[in-house]
Every structure is written in structure tokens, then in C-alpha cells.
Chain A
């Protein structure tokens, strides 16, 4: 049946359509490496590590390998810093043929020493790329040596591209962070304190979230890794709670911190009024001895929603009944987006992610309306097929999904690392609705073939 609509044999179990009527068996396959030749939208292990650690702004990030991996990730994210901006520089050992033959350790060592002398960072992250393991470089040894000589933490990140999926890259990044955590003093940290995990300060989003929590009277020790600082990370084990967003990348870190330091964690999302409010209430509820925190949370929610409600009604009026397709990196984000889209009257006809797991997809299925297609690790052919078949008016995704939407005459909202407008927080929901409104309601679509224009 599915062969008809062009789904590759090796991918048929990664596509699921919610049907009406009898109880459906839900056996979506996921957590697999991408099928060779399928044109996956995923990147690699290195990408996973790079996106998680990228926003640490007072460290240098050195990509050990040939030039490509560093060149393609130079200043790639919209993660902003309130101070140093070392993260926006691109450093590569730029291995050449002779280095591949004789090994790149010496070049790495020299690169590190020179760059540390030049930029005086508070730490260095060394990412190993595909060929590093193959040519036998012992980057751990080089890192130890340089750390000793220079007196700063120098962390190897084992992110060889082919050794798993993006998720394994998240893990490698988290273990590098784990090595830093616990090495700083926790003196003076309040009992009502949190770390914000999995928030990367795209377009200043971490600042928005941090402000809400601080208004509630909670101390924020570290944001990981948005606007990240090495010293804050080192003392982040002194908090009483970890608040984890983007659960795909940072839950493992929260779990490790729970095991090692006994810090509990909760999972939250800052997208949409509903989830944003919940993330404030959930945190406040964990400090019952300080009822004023909950009171303040209620006040923030009330004030913020009152501020944006009238405008939101305008957007909702225009967008009611429109249909959206979602394809993003992490499944957790799709949950919030479905709710956020409902707030503005839109339904979801396609929902998918690059890295969701079985539980994520089960929850997604429960949230979705009948007829919604759920996809794991999809590709342009599938996405465009469903966008057209389901007559979506909007696609939410990243850079690689954008031209699919525009070619087909469909609106688009960038919900990926490169966005320049904050979409988190209450103001973020307003920005999101505005962006969706501006793209879906644009008069330019009248010329699209889909709407009767000439192809």
C-alpha cells in the first residue's frame, strides 16, 4: 500500500497515519540509523555535539579534521552571548593528506597551544571528526597535556560522524560538560536555584526565560548551554533543580547530575502559552515552602497573556482552519508546536522529527487528530508528498525544509537553530503567531501553481 506513495521499502515502518475507527496497532520504527540513499534530513554525531556545545561563549571550539566540518559550522547558530563571543569563531586543524598519513596529534597540539595563547579562553572543546579514530590520533592524551600546560580545562568530544546518530553526539557533548560540572565552588548559591538545560539562547531566548524565573525569585546558576560560561557550568551542581528543555539533547545530563549530585530534574517546554505557563508553575510547585514564588508565577502568566491576547485573536481569526506540517529535530518540540498551533486555530496534518523515540511518537499519536501522518527520520520526497496530499498551508522546519515549502507555494516558519527572532516565552508565542500569519497570509501565494498560478 505504502509503496504506491513512494515510501522506500526500508522506511515503511517509519511512516504512520492515524486512522479513525478501530484500535490501531502503533508500531512506528525509530531510533535507527538512516537508510543509505534515503536522503535523510539528519546530520551526524559531530553535528549533535556541535549544536549542544556551540553556545558556550568563553571557550574555544576546535574541530580536529579536514576543513569541511569546521567551515560548515562557522557561526551557524543564532545563539547569542552577553559577553565573549569566542563561539562564533571557527577553528580547524584543517588536516591535509600528509597529516592523514602521519597522524594529526602534533598539529592538534600546536593548534591548541597557539589558539589558547591568542584567545585566552576559559576552556577548549576538541571535536574529533570521522577520520580521527581511523588515523589513530589519541586526542585524550593531547587534551590532558595541553590542560596541564595551560591550566584550563581542555575537553575531548568524541564525535566521529559515523559512530551513531545525532543523539550519540548529544551524549558526547553531555559527557564533556559532565567533566566540567562539579569543579567549581557552590558557595553562595541559593536554596531556590535552578539550571536551565537544553536552552541555547537562540535570538536571546534564554534571557527571556531566565528573566521569568528570576522575577519569581529563583536564582539561575547556569544555562546550558545558551550564553554559556565555563565558570557557571563548573558550579552548576550547586542548584536544587534542573529544568530541562529540548529533552533529546540534555536529559542524559540531567539524569547523570541526579545520580551523581542528587539534583532532581523536570522536563519543560517554553514554546506556546500553555507549555510556557506550565514550565513556570511546575518549577514554582517544587518550592512549596516559598508560596510567593507561585504567586509571582501566576502574576507573570496573567500579565504576559493579557499583553498578547488581543493580537493573538487577530491572528487566530485569520488562521482558523489552516493546516500545518511539522518536521523538526526533536520530537518534544512537536508536542508544543501542536498546542501552539491550536491556540491560533490551526490543525496539524503532518508531524515528524529526526530523532524521536518510541515514547515520543506514542505521545504524538495521542495528541494528533485523525488523518495526521507521523514520520521518523523523513526525507524531502516524503515530506513534499504529504505536504501536498494533506494540503498543508504551512511547513515548520529548518533551512533544508524551507525550499520544499516555498517551491510548492506553502508558507514556512523556521523553528531551527538559525532563527533570528525569539520563539520561546510568551513574547515568543506572539512572534511565532505573527511569523506564521505573515507567511500563510502573504498575497504572493496567489501566483503559486497550487493556487492556480502557472507552473
Chain B
């Protein structure tokens, strides 16, 4: 039995089972990343349910059609291996979707029976390759019994690069691997890189595939995504920028490119808050040898001004943060720089690196009473909320149960946002994203004050 302790008191809740998980399974992340490659269909090697549940979960956030194929295991498949079903499935998906890429990810089932997917793909290519050019096949091993959705996401991105990148001579090109961010964040990053005038490859780019326009006819694969030829170029880039404090080089796309082709890897925390955004922009200035474009200087100036205008509303407030480790770490640093105390930084992930990385950004973390917890679920978080007396919850919409029960305002960020509209259009990154987050935090606190006052102030 794990014993949760907070302020020296042992928790009395059941600890062996995970209750109201604060994480999702590995293959979900892979499917999401594959959605950011042009003309790619995600394909799960496992039971039909995995594909369907993950589709449903993603659709409820992105409000876009998300087709994920499945090799649809049956009892025979589980006994004799999934080779036949996988090959038949690839054939059918190719016929029905005419993809250029098929992104294949495993599940707990195919991993447990020990299917050797790369071998099966080799066999498939040998049999089918003579007829017509086959789609590119990108394979990620994503057993649901290890890691969380974020591991699947990075595994898919790394595999895309490992499959497609070529060692071309160095070009004036920057790779950017932003991790699991919103479509709006992706569009904003592209805007920044365009403003610097630097050629870049951003992977994965689901800014259009998961947040696109209306259709005159059904698109088997929605338009948008990083093209395969662009991914091929990543091997010849002058550098890779990769977001993610806990993302290790051996698991990341930039890590692969550095090792294989000597493309320098610049690992940064997700740029949330002024300091982290400054670091990101400084990196771009260094790589491009150009100053920050005026429009972004302007955005930064407005943000600094907003911090001044809003500082009194937020100072000393206590927040509980939860979600993917990298998001939580960057959000904590941002809260720290505006005077909000992130009393609990919690994640269902367990990289073992969270506290270390947070200490790099907030060295006096412990003196300030900031608790860092990996591998927790919502019941753990709720339990700690009783002790920590927060003013705010910040995280995805699965914290709503806790928010309602404890009458705490919830500021929805990240994924999933299933109970509000427009989660795909929220900004989190850079000066613009920070501005949006800051405005939302301030307004939430103002609203709380206004509503709880009997006077009914119309100026706050």
C-alpha cells in the first residue's frame, strides 16, 4: 500500500487501485501525434475498443472527425498472433483511405502476446510492395501498461523522424518539436517562426487536421499536417528546439536527430510565462541571428503591463496544478512569477524528474511549501486539497468533480477539455498564451470576489 502523506499526516484512502486517473493510456498520445502528419491514418494494433474509445475521447475535445483504424483482434488473433489481422487491416485502410502514411501503434494486447510488428510490416512490404507504392509505415511501440499518453505521443514523433529523416547537408532550417500542445498554440508557434523568417519543420502539426474548416465533401483524411518530405529534411536542420522539461533525449525526436545526424538539440521547458518565453525567443534570436520581431516585442510589453495591472488580484493566491508533467512544471514557474503559490504540482505521470526540474525553475520550492507529486490520481489530489486550502484549481476538465465538491474555481487548460467549448483554440504558450492565461486567472478571481460580495460592485 502506498502511503500518501501530506504535512506528516497519513492518508486513509485506498491506494492500490487508481481512482479517477489523472492520465490516459499510451496509444492515445500516439494517435494524436499521427494526426499531425500529412495524409496519415492512425492505426491501432489491438482490440476494436481501443480505437473507438480513443476516437471518442479525442473527438469530445477537438470536435473534429478522427478516424483511427484497428486490426480488430478476435480470439484466434490473440492465440495465433496478429500478423494476419494487421496485414488485412493495412490493406483495407490503404484501399479505403488512400493514405501516404499509416501510423501504427501497439496496445497492451498486441504487446502482451508479443507480436513483432516491425517483422510483420517487413513481411507485408515484401508481399505487397510489388503491386504499387505502399504508404510509409511509421511504427510506435505503445503498451498501455507502461507510461502514459504523453509517452505514446513522444514515441510516435520520434518514430516518425527515425523512419523518415535523411542525413542531408546542413541547411538553414530549424526543427521544432513542441510536444502535446493545442492547435491554437501550434498556429501561434508557426506565426512566430515565420516572423523570424526562418525555414522550419514543426512536428506534429495538427493545427488544421484537428481544428479545420467546413467540408464540401467528406475528407477521408483531413487536410493539413506535417508533410513527409518536410520530416525527411529534419536530419539536415541546423538545430532542433524541443519543449518538455522531463522529456529525455533517448525518448525524443530531437534526441534521435542529435545522435544520428548531429543536429544540436535545444531542450526547453514549454514556454509559459515571461521568463520561459524569453528563453524561447532568445533561442530563436540566437539560431536566426535576428532580433525578436517588433510584433512579439509588443506582445511582451503588453503582457508586462498586464502583470502590473493585475498583480493585486493574484498575489498570494494558492493553486493546485495537475496534468502532464511538462505542462505542470511550466505552469508552476509561470504562477511563481506572478505571485501565485502552486501549493500542489501533481501529475499521473512518473518520470521521476518532476521535482528536479521544478527546483531548477523555483529553487526555494520547499521553503515556499510547494508540494510535488508524481503518479497520483484525482482522489489523491482531492485528499490533499483538504489540507492545502487552495483558491484555485488549474488543469484539464477532469478536475471538475473536485472543483464542484470543494467549491473551487477551475481554470481549464491543456487536454482534455470535455466540458467547455473551444479547448482546441486556447493559447498557453509564449507571450500571447501567457496573456490569455493571465487574463483568465485574474478574471476568475475577480468573478469569485464579485459573486461572493453582497454589495454588487460594478467596478472591480
Contact = CB atoms under 8 A, between A and B. Distances in A.
A232 B216 CA distance: 52
Given A37-B92, A114-B16, A162-B109, A406 B63 contact: yes
B422 to A, nearest CB: 14
Contacts of A407: 64-65, 214-215, 218
Interface in B385-439: 398, 401
Interface in B7-34: 12-21, 23-28
A447 B85 CA distance: 42
A114 B17 contact: yes
Contact of B146 (A97, A135, A380): A97
Given A72-B57, A162-B109, A39 B14 contact: no
Nearest to B24: A71
Interface residues of B, number: 77
Interface string A81-114: 0000000111111111101100000010011001
Interface stretch (A28-36, A275-283, A361-369): A28-36
A448 interface: yes
Interface in B136-158: 143-146, 148
Contact of A72 (B15, B56, B108, B112): B56
Q: Counting chain B CB atoms within 10 Å of each CB, which of A42, A164, A407, A447 scores highest?
A: A407
Given A44-B48, A161-B50, A381-B220, A92 B21 contact: yes
Q: Which among A66, A381, A402 has the highest number of chain B CB atoms within 10 Å?
A: A66
B34 to A, nearest CB: 14
Contact of A33 (B55, B74, B97, B213): B74
A54 interface: no
Contacts of A449: 214-216
A131 B48 contact: no
A409 B107 CA distance: 35
A384 B17 contact: no
Contacts of A338: none
A369 B63 CA distance: 32
B218 A68 contact: no
Scoring B23, B46, B92 by chain A CB atoms within 10 A of each residue's CB, the highest score goes to: B92
Contacts of B220: 381
A441 interface: no
A88 B19 CA distance: 11
Contacts of B15: 114
B38 to A, nearest CB: 18
Contact of B72 (A40, A93, A448): A40
Interface in B44-60: 46-57, 59-60
A134 B69 CA distance: 23
A309 B392 CA distance: 48
A399 interface: yes
Contacts of A409: 214
Contact of B78 (A70, A117, A162): A162
B149 to A, nearest CB: 9
A10 interface: yes
B21 A36 contact: no
B14 A75 contact: no
Contacts of B13: 118
A74 B18 CA distance: 12
Contact of A447 (B19, B28, B74, B214): B214
Nearest to A100: B145
A164 B69 CA distance: 18
B71 interface: yes
Contacts of A39: 51, 67-70, 93, 96
A141 interface: no
A408 interface: yes
Contact of A68 (B24, B90, B93, B146): B24
A163 interface: yes
A400 interface: yes
B70 to A, nearest CB: 7
A447 B398 CA distance: 34
A40 to B, nearest CB: 6
Contacts of A110: 1, 16
Interface in A138-178: 161-164
Given A36-B72, A72-B54, A381-B218, A43 B17 contact: no
B43 A37 contact: yes
A62 B20 CA distance: 11
A91 B17 contact: yes
B112 A131 contact: yes
A5 to B, nearest CB: 12
Contact of A40 (B27, B59, B70): B70
B91 interface: yes
A6 interface: yes
A37 B215 contact: no
Contacts of B97: 381
A38 B25 contact: no
B147 to A, nearest CB: 10
A10 B92 contact: yes
B309 interface: no
Interface string B245-258: 00000000000000
Nearest to A95: B145
Interface in B78-101: 78, 85-86, 88-93, 95-97
A42 B47 contact: no
A34 B65 contact: no
A46 B144 CA distance: 16
Given A131-B108, A161-B50, A62 B59 contact: no
Nearest to A133: B78
Given A74-B21, A163-B75, A455-B216, A66 B145 contact: yes
Identify the interface centre among A67, A115, A388: most chain B CB within 10 Å of its CB: A67
- Nearest first, the 9 closest Cβ-Cβ pairs linking A and B are A44-B49, A68-B25, A37-B89, A114-B14, A37-B92, A384-B218, A161-B47, A36-B89, A111-B17
Interface of B: 1, 12-21, 23-28, 43, 46-57, 59-60, 63-75, 77-78, 85-86, 88-93, 95-97, 107-109, 112-113, 143-146, 148, 213-218, 220, 398, 401
Given A134-B109, A449-B216, 20 more contacts: A33-B72, A35-B72, A36-B89, A43-B53, A66-B145, A67-B18, A70-B18, A71-B24, A74-B21, A92-B17, A93-B16, A111-B17, A115-B17, A130-B47, A130-B78, A161-B73, A162-B77, A385-B218, A408-B215, A448-B214
